Amino acid sequence: MILVDNEVVLHIDNVKAGYVVGRRFIDAVSSVSLKLFYGEVFGLAGESGCGKSTLLKVIYGYIEPPLKRIEGSLILRTKNERLSLHELSDDELKRRVWWRYMTWIPQGAMSVLNPTIRVRDHFIEMFKLYSNIDKREVYRLTTEYLEALGLSKEVIDAYPIQLSGGMRQRIVIALALLFNPILVLADEPTSALDVVTQKILLEQLLKVQKERGFTLVLVSHDMDVHGVFTDRIGVMYAGKIVEVGSTDKMFAEPLHPYTKALIGSLPRLGDKSIRKGLSGAPPDLADPPPGCRFHPRCPYAMDICRREEPPIIEIEKGRIVGCWLYVKG
């Protein structure tokens, strides 16, 4: 994939956010900068608790106490305008950005769907809020979107509670894609499903993504998912982005010791040796270690790693890493 600056859909610059709990500040997103490009599938990887879901919430603007954005900017580039998301009020975000330009697919469908309302009424409500098409057209579009995700049109008359987890998640995805957004944020969209259903659903989501050309940010702790479904990956550790690169290059030659550990622990075809997982756990973000946050778990840690935070270095166009091992001189 060729990265061209004028094809940036979202520019995240130096964003810092976290949770204020009493007098403690949990530093969940620490000075994150990223560019997302039109039409790509960008994977956010890392263990649970590394800040991936919080970053997604901050991008979407779904910031409710105790979550707080401290600083940084988020610029969304649509075909016609340049929106400074960090300057918009909640009301402006809802009116101008959510659903039209940017949508969010959460982990659990039931946090979005009302179990006592039929599927078709969820869609009618959405169309009432964001467009003025008549009921017959709503029905036609709804069945078309549901069929694109492998659901029969009979589902439209069901209540969410009568459907399986996979069917409900497909409905949430269909709702999220209703108004052809340019940026879709999917937070572990299949984690509550069995492995076979996960794979089928991700394949369907990716097929629709290719057809419509929106940018998809896919959060997953599963590196296998990233290896199969993403174009580029950003690896997060303890609230920081530690490596970004194309999926192919990252899997062929991971740079950061944390990325190496994540990829190295995956089983390989024909290799019967026991793969070693990463020992230890991510740090407490209310009191992260000084220097490189990964140093207590890193087999390559040096003195400087314990004292000073490593800079983010661009190794080649689009390939960045935050690790002292790559600092020359």
DSSP states of 12-78: EEEEEEEEEETTEEEEEEEEEEEEEETT-EEEEE--TTSSHHHHHHHHHT---TTEEEEEEEEEEE-
Q: Is 237 in the site for ligand SF4 (CB under 6 A)?
A: no
Question: Binding residue for ligand SF4 (CB under 6 A) from 44, 74, 250, 298?
Answer: 298
Output the six-digit token pair for 68: 């707080």
**Smallest distance from the beta carbon of 242 to ligand SF4, in angstroms?**
7
290: three-class secondary structure by DSSP:
coil
Enter the DSSP assignment of 282: P
Residue whose CB is less far from ligand SF4, 173 or 298: 298
Question: Binding residue for ligand SF4 (CB under 6 A) from 59, 122, 310, 320?
Answer: 310
Which one of 21-29, 79-87, 264-272, 288-296 is the stretch in contact with ligand SF4 (CB under 6 A)?
A: 288-296
Question: Binding residue for ligand SF4 (CB under 6 A) from 42, 60, 145, 294?
Answer: 294
Give the number of other CB atoms < 10 A from CB of residue 268.
9
Residue whose CB is less far from ligand SF4, 106 or 310: 310
Which one of 42-50, 215-223, 270-278, 295-303 is the stretch in contact with ligand SF4 (CB under 6 A)?
A: 295-303
**Smallest distance from the beta carbon of 15 to ligand SF4, in angstroms?**
21
Question: Binding residue for ligand SF4 (CB under 6 A) from 112, 301, 312, 313?
Answer: 301
CB 234 within 8 A of CB 45: yes
Residue whose CB is less far from ligand SF4, 160 or 291: 291
Structure-token match 């062929």, residue found: 252
Query: Is the previous residue joined to 66 through a cis bond, with omega within 30 degrees of 0?
Result: yes
Site string for ligand SF4, 246-275 (x = CB under 6 A): ----------xx------------------
Measured CA to CA in angstroms, residue 324 lies from 15, 26, 66, 292 at distances of 22, 25, 33, 9
Rule CB under 6 A: which residues touch ligand SF4? Answer: 256-257, 292, 294-295, 298, 300-302, 305, 310, 323-325
